[in-house]
Amino acid sequence: MSKLYNWRNFWIFWGGGLALFGYLILSNGALETLVAPNGILDHQSAATAERVNAIQESWASAGALAMARWGMIADLVFITLYMSGGIIGGRLIWQRANSPTLKKVGLLCVLSYFVFGLTDYIETVCQLIQLVNEQGSDILAGTAALAKPVKVASWIVGTVAMIAALIWRWSETRA
């Protein structure tokens, strides 16, 4: 097995991803405006160029456009960390667990974190292109809005499965 796949790297990547996610949640307040009361979440859901333009204009008026750019770049780092950690942890559980069911949960983690990463990259890159160009695009906004529900579902499944698998694996190794 590659030297990448070890518990130390899992905790660095997965834990680092969770820590960065916490930071992103806390910093979202700077992007909340009357047009985008949910901050970046409204930009993710904006399915039209018109809506993206309105949100970005509200951020520009609030002096938060640079914060939005840095937030999206930080989001790309978060995606990389959290997805990598989830895949590493899922693979470790999949290959090292004693229980056949726990092995399947590990495989579920690998697949969920892969789908999460893929869809979140698509969504965030579409957003970032529109933000850098300071111009909405119906195609990019629509693509980001389509990717969001799949991203959210795979994030929930992966996170819940990973927590359950870690607890199960911990109890399995203690026995």
pLDDT above 70 (res 92): yes
Q: Is residue 55 part of a domain?
A: yes
Q: Is residue 104 part of a domain?
A: yes
Structural domain boundaries enclosing 39: 7-174
Mention every residue, 6+ apart, whose C-beta is less than 8 A from residue 117: 79, 80, 82, 83, 87
Q: What is the Cα–Cα distance from 5 to 93, expressed in whole angstroms? A: 11
Q: Is residue 1 part of a domain?
A: no
pLDDT digits (tens, 9 = 90+) for 39-86: 999 999 999 999 999 999 999 999 999 999 999 999 999 999 999 999
Q: Which of 107, 95, 112, 103 is nearest to 159 (CA)?
A: 112
The pLDDT score that the predictor gives to residue 19 is 97
pLDDT digits (tens, 9 = 90+) for 23-37: 999 999 999 999 999
Q: What is the Cα–Cα distance from 163 to 105, expressed in whole angstroms? A: 10
Q: Is residue 2 part of a domain?
A: no
As for how many domains the chain has, the answer is 1
Q: Is residue 128 part of a domain?
A: yes
The pLDDT score that the predictor gives to residue 147 is 98
pLDDT above 80 (res 1): no
Residue 97's identity, in one-letter code, is: A
